[in-house]
Structure 1
Amino acid sequence: MDNIEKIDLAKVSWRSSEDFFESLGEALDKLDDKDESYDFTWVGKRKAIIEAGAPVNKTIRPDVKNSKNWDTTENLFIEGDNLDALKLLQESYLGKVKMIYIDPPYNTGKDFVYHDNFKATIEQYDEDTEYKDESGNIQFKKNEKTNGRYHSDWLSMIYPRLKLARNLLTEDGVIFISIDDNEQSNLKKICDEVFGEDNFLAQVIWERAYSPVNLKKHFSESHDYILCYARDSNRAINNGLPRSDDADSRYMNLDNDSRGAWKSSDLSVGPAIAKNVYEITLPSGRSVTPPNGYSWRLSRERLGEFIADNRIWFGADGNSVPSIKRFLSEVKNTMTPMTIWKYADVGHSQEASQSLKKLFGDKAMIDYPKPVDLIKRCMQLYSSKDSIVLDFFSGSATTAHAVMQLNAEDGGNRKWIMVQLSEETDEKSEAFKAGYKTIPEIARERIRRAGDKIAAEHPDAKVDYGFRSLVVAETNYKEVYRPAGELQQSVLLDVVDNIKEDRSELDLLFGVLTASALELNRPLETRDIAGTSVYLYDYFGEVSGLVACFAESISEDTIKQIAALKPLTAVFRDSSFPDSQAKVNLAEHFRIISPETKVKVI
């Protein structure tokens, strides 16, 4: 600290507090900061980091009645807090999601509905930011809108979700995040930390409005941002965009070349390469040289080859500066995307609202949905035809709609996973009056209607229009911990069966799938074996899948027939067996009939 100039407060005549801070700032500017580093932080960050890694005591329950094509579909709609859902999906979908699109709350002060238990209270905020003196008295506070909790709450909400989402991406996977000016700068910093600055691909500007709002005081905002990050930018592959008619219209065939349409490209390039600075004699007899500081792209020898192959254009009169002919037939059939996406290409907010309204019989269901074409473009760029696409702020399920639409158009078999909080609709809204009490109800109905519409428009397309509806719920198991004083005989008898009374066999199956890190969208079959209902999950013959039986009692014949299926895993309910000897017999049957099967009892 010797290199800081000493400020003698006794010799300073302060006219205002600004004088003090100006002098202090000048001195601090002289501080050698070689040992310091940039760090992005906020009140509650430590808790957010801890929350990202904290275990979740929840499970996923099936919701068959609200599903479509339950047994065969490979799409998932999960209702519940996305923080819990992401944790429950961690093992099953680790490194399997090719593309994520999310449209999180923009933190406008009106759209924040995620209230995590790590949010800072006012008291915690004052304490953490040292706005109290040693006696505990508040010294001063910052503007809540621009500093502190207003942004801290949002940052603490988004951080653990992005940390968990990154784990789900494939090595070549990409995430797109819609945002506006309220949190764009903060989101960029968080993404740099979570995904790495080197994995930043682009900040797209989406033109979401086509006309100004004249009531605005200063500017009428006409765009949102879409941040794009890769899990590993060295592995991510941009598919490019299909060539447009406008791009192709720039190619013409002025000399009736048999190779078809072409457009001219400048033959000169800078800075100059000495050996490629030479004189070219045109067919008209005129001689030309490259502009000052430039040279020709081609060597003298290479130019001769191009002229012989009719790849140099000298103009219709043979007197123009030469240019290279680029043939449409030889260019890539895709174009590199630009970072400004016009509403004419990907739609705008009003168009998206009108399309959704039309889908629901001219009833407005949700505010500010994203256009289907916007999310389709994201998928065109960074998904393959068999990718898994995730949206964990799915709203009205525009992403699911976009996946089905693109699959119908390009023959893809992309699968989707939507996650949406059980947010209630406003009682005054058209959605509520139409019978939709929650956003997930709107989303599921939107998927059904969109699927029917796409199927009618593409009758020959083989698209999975179904979905398994699932719900994040409390664990299937009873809380068996009791203080020592409560360990009475009645309590011990009560927990012999540790499964909650309201849980079905299907609940238990999906609890096992989640705990076993198995994907939740594989084929499911229910089969009667020796008079007992048995579930065959992702089973295609010997040494495959999982077979489960949770009946109240299981006969020896049923056990033998299940063992004869020789699945990879067999799961049973502990209370199905009357005593320990019955479980010993279970193990023995599998040891003899199917020794490779892993047997579990819950």
Structure 2
Amino acid sequence: MNIIDTDIIERMDMASLDLVSNNFKKLAALFPNCVTETAEGKVIDFDLLKQELNYQIVEGTKERYRLEWPGKREAIVTANLPTNKTIRPIHEDSVDFNNTENLYIEGDNLEILKILQESYLGKINIIYIDPPYNTGNDFIYWDNYIQGKEVYKEGSGQKDELNQRLVANPETAGRYHSDWLTMMYPRLKLAYNCLSDDGLLVISIDDNEVFQLGKILDEIFGSTNRLACAPWLSEASGGKEKTGLRTGHEYLLIYFKKSSENISQEERSAGELNLRDSKGAYRKGRELMKWGGTSLREDRPNQFYELPNMEGEMILPYRNDGKAGHWRWGKNNPEILKAFDDKSFFHWELRPFNEGILVNGFRERWVPYEKIRDSKKATGWSTWLDKFGSNADGTRELINLFGSKVFDTPKPFQLVKWIVSLHSNENALIMDFFAGSSATAQAVMHLNAEDSGKRRFILVQLPETTNEKSESFKAGYKNICEIGKERIRRAAKKIKKETGADIDYGFRVYRLDESNMQDVYYKPQEYTQATLDLFTDNVKPDRTADDLLAQVMLDWGLPLSLKIEKVIIADKQVFKVAANSLYACFDKGIDEDFAKAIAQEAPLRIVFRDSGFKDDTAKTNVKQLLKQLSPETEMKVI
């Protein structure tokens, strides 16, 4: 390995953006008098900085309004720590890799958000996430990078096939809320960096953490940038009973970064009165049948009784699967008594039982819905969201694609489609770094098919292993990423068949991994000349040119969705990224003849392997030739 000429040819960092160094430089430029020296080097004197930012004399720490928890400082440090890891392309899992602008990335989303910082800083228009709700049954990501390796291993729990670690967070844990907040905080700080100035963040959450999550979002985004805490009807049946109350809703926390001018705020109806009977206009409300848990006849035997439909026929509550169910209300409820007196009190529809099921010789059943005659309008962001699908719809959509329930908690893509449609940019870049079953990808493709938009998505998901007893495992899916990728493929085929729309149905798959570079690349000072001689190449032997290109693109701040071409120039394989934006050649034997040939292409940037030059003289000459023949070309080595 050649370690000379570092002043002549710049070496790429091959690491994520160092946020601490960047912030230090900005503060030092603004307040040079606050820079002091310690045994560890230059630091900011925060006591002086506080005084610089105050008109009054600052006298120590004072109480102030903010959310604190054990681990908050650790979370801030975790967000700022750079990483040397990279992501490697997985061509065999991708669809139309060379042409698509959509990305699917497997791995820990904290590391991946760090890796993407430089290439996607301020470029994401919409971020939607559906994180673990911290219900006591979740696994959460283990992020304590500042602990020693042994402590880390002892504290870690489940591992997936890529050795990513997850830990259980039961309600009995002493740091139940704190651990969840420590996991979420650095991810949200990095997500904020990625958002464009008119960017929109939407997070699904339930009662367990909505208040805590809202406070950390207020801190990161500012409370004045909160658009809404909008309730969403997630369980049409009313959800589970808790202390006598049913919580059949979840929330969408909606924030914007700096400007909301490109975010739709039109008035939204509480429900169009689009049907009519002898009494006037109405809309269809909730189904009278009870669904979900405790929905069988034996669960509520007193709520299994006959009701007259609009023709006076007496109807019993049978479920789609043919089993006897029950109504939501008892027979003596005032609303039900009205239904006996007025046959048009409910809206009735004839719906089929599940395929092949007969009940009393019939293939169909009558289904009653409430009639809603209230025409109130709801404006603003906190509108009750009850017409964009429920959890049951999310499950139904997945079963339609796979034939079975291969994922436990899928969000309905119609809800995600509504979220994406809030932003007026039809070319928006959408990110979901808790991608789950990939409902976001399906939503983006559906919306593009409807309005000919060119929206693109970036999905990130940890490859959590599936339970061996689950339907997903039995169907052959070993981890969640396999489900997510297959959903995109199947949804794309379905949308293309139904609409014929000419949109981007592909996606590039990348997977998180350790750096492509040997440790010596980052810490040459820790090696003697004798040990340095052992490294004839600073690239790990199992890495391909495609692997190197991905890390180089990210290091140079280029989006991974850019067009990539492979060409042969002077008998060498060359990657061309976005026409002449970047040329990369990782072949051996780079010499003056190659430099002359590449100079005719006039690329803006070019990168070589440090060990790829014919010899040290050729390395110096290539640099000088490019300076003379293509002065606009910036050359670096890895």
TM-score by length of 1: 0.72
Match of 1:93 in 2: 120
Displacement of 1:118 after TM fit? 5.8
Deviation at 1:335, TM superposition (A): 9.2
Q: Which amino acid aligns with 1:425?
A: T
Question: What is the match of residue 182 of structure 1?
Answer: 208
**Cα separation, 2, equivalents of 1:246 and 1:165:** 36
Q: 1:349 — aligned with what? A: 391
Question: What does residue 296 of structure 2 align with?
Answer: none
1:218 aligns with 2:244: yes
Contact 1:79 1:422 in 2 (8 A): yes
Letter in 1 for 2:410: P
Ranges of 4+ aligned residues in structure 1 off by more than 4 Å: 118-121, 213-217, 233-236, 241-245, 247-250, 334-338, 481-486
Counterpart secondary structure, 1:575: coil
Q: Residues 410 and 580 of structure 1: is their aligned pair in 2 closer, same or farther, counting only changes over 3 Å?
A: same
Deviations 1:540-581 (A, max 9, x none): xxxx41011101223544332222110100111111113210
The alignment partner of 1:37 has SS state of coil
The answer to whether the Cα contact below 8 Å between 1:198 and 1:233 also exists between their aligned partners in 2 is no
Q: 1:150 aligns with which of 168, 176, 183?
A: 176
Distance change (3 Å), C-alpha of 1:190 and 1:146: farther
Contact 1:425 1:436 in 2 (8 A): yes
TM alignment of 1:34-49, pairs within 5 A: 36-49=63-76
Matching residue's letter, 1:526: K
2:81 to 29, 54, 61: 54
Q: State how 1:266-305 maps to structure 2 within 5 Å.
A: none
Identity of aligned residues (%): 47
Q: Tell me how far apart the structure 1 counterparts of residues 456 and 430 of structure 2 sit (CA, whole Å).
A: 6
Q: How far apart, in 1, do the equivalents of 2:457 and 2:630 lie?
A: 35
| Match in the other structure for 2:401 | 359
Question: Which of 439, 442, 460 is the aligned partner of 2:480?
Answer: 439
Provide the aligned length of Structure 1 versus Structure 2: 458
Q: Aligned equivalents of 2:198 and 2:241: distance in 1?
A: 45
Corresponding residue for residue 628 of structure 2: 592
Distance in 2 (alpha carbons) for counterparts of 1:169 and 1:178: 18
Partner of 1:419: 460
Measured after TM superposition, the shift of residue 337 of structure 1 is 5.4
The Cα offsets for residues 62-95 of structure 1, whole Å up to 9 and x where unpaired, read as 1111111111111111111010011111111111
Secondary structure of 2:138's aligned partner: coil
Q: Distance in 1 between matches of 2:270 and 2:246?
A: 30
Unaligned runs of 5+ in 2: 1-60, 152-168, 277-376
What are the Cα deviations for residues 406-449 of structure 1, in whole angstroms up to 9, with x where unaligned?
A: 01001100111001012111111121122211111111111011
Distance 2:231 2:200 in 1: 17
Among 221, 226, 231, which residue is 1:200 paired with?
Answer: 226
The structural deviation recorded for 1:112 is 2.3
Matching of residues 222-237 of structure 1 within 5 Å: 222-233=248-259, 235=261, 237=263
Matched residues in 2 for 1:228 and 1:484: separation? 48
User: Aligned with 2:436: secondary structure?
Assistant: coil
Greater alpha carbon shift after TM alignment, 172-181 vs 235-244: 235-244
Structure 1 position 535 matched with structure 2 position 575 = yes
Alignment of 1:307-322 (within 5 A): none
Distance, in Å, in 2 between the alignment partners of 1:598 and 1:387 is 31
Q: Which residue of 1 aligns with 2:105?
A: 78
Per the alignment, residue 289 of structure 1 pairs with none
Aligned counterpart, 1:371? 412
CA distance in 2, matches of 1:241, 1:537: 44
Select 1:549's aligned residue among 585, 595, 608: 585
- Work out whether residues 588 and 614 of structure 2, in 8 Å CA contact, stay in contact via their aligned partners in 1: no
- 1:516 counterpart = 2:560: no
| Partners of 1:486 and 1:96 in 2: CA distance | 39
Q: 1:441 to 1:485 in 2, by over 3 A?
A: closer
Alignment of 1:234-245 (within 5 A): 235=261, 237-238=263-264, 240=266
Local SS of the residue matching 2:119 = coil
1:160-179, aligned counterparts within 5 Å? 160-179=186-205
- SS of corresponding position for 1:363: coil
Is 1:453 the counterpart of 2:494 in the alignment?
yes
2:114 aligned counterpart, secondary structure: helix
d(CA) in 2 for partners of 1:236, 1:146: 44
* AA in 2 matched with 1:376: K
Deviation at 1:466, TM superposition (A): 0.7
Query: Is contact 1:239–1:382 with CA below 8 Å preserved after alignment?
Result: no
**Does 1:464 find its partner at 2:504?**
yes
**2:545, 2:452 → 1: CA distance?**
36
Judge conservation of contact 2:100–2:504 (CA < 8 Å) in 1.
yes
1:339 to 382, 396, 401: 382
Task: State the 1:249 CA deviation.
Answer: 9.2
Give, as a single letter, the amino acid of the residue that structure 1 aligns with 2:569. Answer: I
1:340 CA drift (Å): 3.6
Once residues 404 and 590 of structure 2 are traced to their aligned partners in structure 1, the CA distance between those partners, rounded to angstroms, is 52
Partner amino acid, structure 2, of 1:115: W
Give the Cα–Cα distance (whole angstroms) in 2 for the partners of residues 185 and 160 of structure 1: 18
Q: Which amino acid aligns with 1:103?
A: D
Shift of 1:493: 2.0
